[in-house]
Amino acid sequence: MQSHWEHFDHGADIGVRGIGPTEAAAFEQAALALTAVIAEPDTVRVVDRVDFDCEAPDAELLLVHWLNAVISQMALHRMLFARYQVQIHGHRLKAHALGETLSGLRHGPAVEVKGATVTALRVARLRGGGWLAQTVVDV
């Protein structure tokens, strides 16, 4: 299965969906879809690294915590991330994101993502193999 991300319509907000051969890969792709709400991921250089450590009582809330941690770090460091590496052990996630400082000239006008929600929240194995991780982000 090829890892990929996509957006889906949800009223005034935006759905982010990651699909991958593993749960961790689906979480990586969901975070990449989050980046793509703000700017084209291919325009983001890999310059700096930020580490993450998240925990939640179940996989769905872990996805929300993960994406909200990414949003928080983007705002705190004024960064965008182009690559994510995620490891999941039970309901604990360790990850790092690679990216650079936001540049209005290179990345274009940015949409501000306020947070990940529990709307359309789903983390599940797919019938044909692989994993799906999705939710709606508030913009």
Nearest 10 degrees: Cα torsion 66, 53, 81, 124: -40
Q: What average pLDDT score do residues 36-45 get?
A: 93
Distance (Å, whole) CA 136 – CA 64:
9
Burial of 73 (0-12, 13-18, 19+ CB in 10 A): middle
Mean pLDDT (the chain, rounded): 94
For residue 9, name the pLDDT band (cuts at 50, 70, 90). confident
What residues does each domain of the chain span? 4-138
Question: How high is the pLDDT of residue 129?
Answer: 92
CATH topology for 4-138 is Archease, Possible Chaperone; Chain: A; domain 1 (3.55.10)
User: For the segment 98-129, what is each residue's pLDDT rounded down to a tens digit?
Assistant: 999 988 778 876 678 999 999 999 999 999 89
Distance (Å, whole) CA 4 – CA 25:
9
Question: How high is the pLDDT of residue 73?
Answer: 97
- SS3 label, residue 11: coil
**Going along the chain, which residue ranges are E strands?**
4-10, 13-20, 48-55, 79-89, 92-101, 115-116, 122-125, 131-138
